[in-house]
């Protein structure tokens, strides 16, 4: 696979998110350069960027490795996203363009149609596209980049269960777009916050921390305590 040098960072990040590279696994410049058909220079630069984003860590005597976030890291990440997405929606209500609004409305129509038909896989991709467009409509490149990075990380750390009531979920999307279209920043913020909070229980850690192995003595003492 040969890709442009400037896309090496995106390619490595995507492979980390998809699980091509295991957590804790080494990322050698030579292997990556060969995989993507580039020199080691853009690979080195990409690894620096990915380390700053939290996808890669540098270990003594091992070099660059895929990061191994803790459960607390994952929980914090999800909480930050639920705080920033409403901010993005509020800004979108003030700064969105007609082009943004057209795309958002089109996505809502498609989402509502797919929800009625029960086409889950389509809904997953449409939902990602919706939130990406909403972030872009904020008119804040920094916030958009941060939200994009958060979405990548959440996808990496969590598996998301199919929404139990997809029609209602897409009705919420529609209400958010209506608020954005009217320029009602506070309503857009409140609706997005509620939507984000309702989505949290559907997230399941892909790699939960293993349970600690109890010694037999500890187990006996614990049982005695409960009795």
Whether 19 contacts 66, CB under 8 Å: no
Residue 1: pLDDT band with limits 50, 70, 90: low
Buried b vs exposed e over 140-156: b needs ≥16 C-beta within 10 Å? beebbebbeebbbbbeb
- Which SS3 state, helix, strand or coil, does residue 160 take? strand
pLDDT, one tens digit per residue, over 184-198 is 999 999 999 999 999
> pTM (2 decimals)?
0.81
Task: Please state whether beta strands 63-66 and 56-59 pair in parallel, antiparallel, or not at all (unpaired).
Answer: antiparallel
- pLDDT at position 202 over 50: yes
Residue 161: pLDDT band with limits 50, 70, 90: confident
pLDDT at 217: 39
pLDDT above 70 covers a percentage of the chain that reads 89
Query: What residues contact residue 22 under an 8 Å CB cut-off, 6+ apart?
Result: 66
pLDDT at 129: 94
pLDDT at 183: 97
């Amino acid at each position: 696979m040969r890709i442009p040098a400037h896309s090496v960072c995106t390619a490595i990040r995507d492979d980390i998110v998809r699980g091509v590279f295991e957590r804790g696994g080494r990322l050698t410049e030579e292997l990556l350069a060969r995989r993507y058909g580039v020199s080691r220079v853009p690979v080195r630069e990409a690894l620096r960027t990915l380390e700053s984003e939290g996808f890669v860590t540098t270990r003594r005597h091992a070099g660059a490795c895929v990061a191994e976030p803790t459960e607390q890291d994952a929980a914090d990440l999800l909480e930050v996203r639920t705080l920033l997405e409403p901010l993005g929606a509020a800004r979108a209500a003030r700064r969105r363009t007609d082009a943004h609004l057209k795309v958002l409305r089109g996505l809502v129509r498609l989402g509502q149609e797919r929800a009625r038909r029960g086409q889950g896989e389509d809904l997953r991709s449409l939902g990602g596209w919706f939130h990406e467009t909403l972030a872009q409509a904020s008119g804040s490149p920094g916030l958009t980049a941060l939200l994009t990075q958060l979405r990548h990380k959440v996808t990496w750390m969590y598996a998301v269960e199919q929404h139990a009531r997809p029609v209602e979920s897409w009705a919420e999307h529609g209400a958010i777009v209506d608020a954005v279209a009217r320029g009602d920043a506070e309503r857009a913020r409140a609706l997005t916050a509620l939507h984000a909070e309702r989505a949290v229980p559907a997230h399941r850690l892909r790699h939960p921390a293993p349970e600690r192995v109890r010694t037999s003595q500890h187990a006996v003492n614990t049982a005695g305590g409960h009795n």
